[in-house]
Structure 1
Amino acid sequence: MRNAKFSKILPLTCALLLGSFNAAADEPARPECIAPTKPGGGFDLTCKLAQAGLKDEGLLKAPMRVTYMPGGIGAVAYNSIAANRRAEAGTIVAFSGASLLNLALGKYGRYDEDAVQWLTTIGTDYGTLAVSEDSPYKTLDDVVAALKKDPKSISVGGGGSIGGQGWVKIALLAKAAGVNPRDLRYAAFEGGAEHYMALMGKHVDLVTGSASEIRAQKANKIRTLAIFSEERLPGELAEIPTAREQGYDIQWPLIRGYFVGPEVSPEAVSWWRETFAKLHASAEFQQYLSDRDVLPLSVSGDELNALVKQQVAQYRELGREFGLVE
């Protein structure tokens, strides 16, 4: 299967965007990062990257707290910021490609991608498929063979409901196998690490996740079958084959970043962007990202707005391809 239109959604690297900032802007009071899910998983990681990085680099005078607001894979947090917490300068919210996919599919209700201010990205991640260490499925070919024989013979767990990014990752493989993704046996989880716990408890046979989650699950004896990247990732993940090299040309890049409320002042927005630009300029922070299997990606301002709109449009097209939107 060829997925050319999705194979280069993001570059692996992007120039540091310093932009034009107001140097006199004050640090926002009571800094907080909202992870729109339960503890564990990608949104939590995104907030903790900011929390630890800004602290270690001395870029925040007050410590940043991480709070959790699960519901709808980001829908509750998005609606809260767009409707009720519109001007909180100290509050940033983690987002990912999953957030943009849900926006594209209309899962955030009356709010679209223009309802908030997109602050900056912190890095990029990639989708994965994993099984338990004792699973009979050793390769993607094993999974595909089972899906072709009976799509419901494999129970798959992932974050979000049908149409969400957890589902899309296995749906792309099913489509490559000539299987109707609607015939899959999919178990939806709110996020965090719930789907991995279900895998360990033998409640599902396979889980969709992301590369940045693999290290945290190492003690749980999980085997990752494939990473949906264009080429193998560096470091400890280099031993994991891509879907492409196994004969399935599927890529699923996943940007990670932050947004703020629509009425946060330009001065506060500039302060955050300048501060994150300083963070990205730190060699120590680049290593911190690498140690957590996150590839650095710094995009902000007009470039980020354009990227968000581009991805939402591409995801909407994908939704139409799968019959999820009109």
Structure 2
Amino acid sequence: MKLILSIATLAATLFAVPATAQPAKTECLAGAKPGGGFDLTCRLLANSLQAAKIIRNPMAVSYMEGGVGAVAYNHVVGSRPADGGLVVAASSGSALLLAQKKFGNHDENAVRWVGALGADYGVIAVAPDSPIKSLKELVTEYAKNPAGFPIGGGGAVGSQDWMKAALIARAGGADPKKMRYAALEGGGAVTTALQGGHIKIAAGDASEMVKLIEANRIRVLAIMSDKRLPGVFANIPTAKEQGYDIEWPIWRGFYVGPKVTEAEYKWWVDTLTKLITTPEFKQEQETRGLFPFDMVGTQYDERVKADVKRFRALATEAGL
């Protein structure tokens, strides 16, 4: 019996997250209405934590819409800065908005960045009957005649899709401010416009393209990831493979308030570090259409701030 107890004690020591800093209750705040990307991010965390039995009680998910996360960001900094049980969903879109100073007086240093648990990736696509077969051909032809290549994206000027298109324009030496850009309502409208011939280039996300690729209704020229993606994307080269240093991961992660204690912050970092190794998390990530993108603690903090800096330079260059 003593041997069994000793082994159990050792296992608890090695694999359990510190109980001392574990909050009595946990909450994930989504800075938008239910059903969007922030909601998906919170549900990914809440469901997998519960399934993997890492937390004692179910995590609550709450919503605070406004400014694509801006209202939630200001709420946490101003009203709940020391709430150790609260994490807030964020994305690379949050970094982009911070770069454009759309979160008010607070910058990327106003909160503590905990970790990212998955990502989608940007893609550049053309119609299946387009004579353009590679990203290099597209960049070359676009540089010759930018006006002849209307580009569509699911968002206004300055959005993530607009930025993806701007990177392609810049790769060809063209001025992003002079793009013929059509701001459409979501990825579905973008691919419909592409197939209808209303635009010649589509900037979007990989997860939106799966069924269209399978049905040969779209041709993806490049994935904006650091390496090739699996499944239907396995034969599609990255932008880097084609000679362009372009990446656009749409990471999904979390931050906590600026006055959360070091022990509480470490508990969240340790918890996410443990979570990403579990089969329950991996299944939940796949179910929600996200690709692996696991980055926790200091590494994630540095990534967020590097992204803000990169986006700020791009936004300044583009005249935003």
Tell me if both proteins adopt one fold, taking TM over 0.5 as the criterion: yes
**Alignment match, 2:57:** 62
Task: Sort the Cα spacing of 1:200 and 1:164 in 2 relative to 1 into closer, same or farther, 3 A.
Answer: closer
Q: Distance in 2 between matches of 1:237 and 1:249?
A: 19
Amino acid at match of 2:99: A
Higher relative contact order, chain-length normalized (CA < 8 Å, sep 6+): 1
Superposed counterparts of 1:16-55, under 5 Å: 22-29=18-25, 31-36=27-32, 39-40=35-36, 42-55=37-50
How far apart are 1:53 and its partner, in Å?
A: 1.4
Alpha-carbon RMSD = 3.6
Q: 1:109 aligns with which of 99, 104, 108?
A: 104
How far apart are 1:289 and its partner, in Å?
A: 3.5
**Alignment match, 1:81:** 76
Q: 1:237 aligns with which of 230, 233, 240?
A: 233
Cα deviations by residue, 1:232-269 (Å, 9 ceiling, x for unpaired): 22334213222234454422234331012223344443
Amino acid at match of 2:58: P
Q: Distance in 2 between matches of 1:37 and 1:209?
A: 22
Question: Retained in 1: the 8 A contact 2:51–2:280?
Answer: no
Question: Retained in 2: the 8 A contact 1:29–1:89?
Answer: no
Q: Distance in 2 between matches of 1:218 and 1:86?
A: 45
Q: Distance in 1 between matches of 2:294 and 2:74?
A: 26
Q: SS of the residue aligned with 2:220?
A: strand
How far apart are 1:227 and its partner, in Å?
A: 0.6
Q: Distance in 1 between matches of 2:62 and 2:115?
A: 19
Tell me the TM-score normalised to structure 2 length.
0.75
Matched, 1:294 2:280: no
Tell me the TM-score normalised to structure 1 length.
0.74
Amino acid at match of 2:230: P
Identical-pair percentage: 42
Farther off after superposition, 249-258 or 195-204? 195-204
Question: Retained in 2: the 8 A contact 1:286–1:296?
Answer: no
Number of residues of Structure 1 aligned to a counterpart in Structure 2? 299
Amino acid at match of 2:234: A
Question: Retained in 2: the 8 A contact 1:156–1:208?
Answer: yes
How far apart are 1:303 and its partner, in Å?
A: 3.8
How far apart are 1:50 and its partner, in Å?
A: 1.1
Matched, 1:202 2:193: yes
Q: SS of the residue aligned with 2:275?
A: helix
Return 5+ residue gaps in structure 2 as ranges: 1-13
How far apart are 1:106 and its partner, in Å?
A: 1.7
**Alignment match, 1:310:** 306
Q: SS of the residue aligned with 2:102?
A: coil
Cα deviations by residue, 1:77-130 (Å, 9 ceiling, x for unpaired): 222322234344443222222222321232222101121121222234432224
Question: Retained in 2: the 8 A contact 1:289–1:296?
Answer: no
**Alignment match, 1:8:** none
Q: Distance in 1 between matches of 2:250 and 2:267?
A: 25
Superposed counterparts of 1:175-190, under 5 Å: 175-188=170-183
Q: Distance in 2 between matches of 1:236 and 1:288?
A: 20
How far apart are 1:212 and its partner, in Å?
A: 4.5
Question: Retained in 2: the 8 A contact 1:32–1:64?
Answer: yes
Larger radius of gyration: 2
**Alignment match, 1:127:** 122
Q: SS of the residue aligned with 2:110?
A: coil
Return 5+ residue gaps in structure 1 as ranges: 1-17
Task: Sort the Cα spacing of 1:51 and 1:307 in 2 relative to 1 into closer, same or farther, 3 A.
Answer: same
**Alignment match, 1:321:** 317
Superposed counterparts of 1:273-288, under 5 Å: 273-286=269-282, 288=284
Farther off after superposition, 75-84 or 217-226? 217-226
Q: 1:100 aligns with which of 78, 95, 104?
A: 95
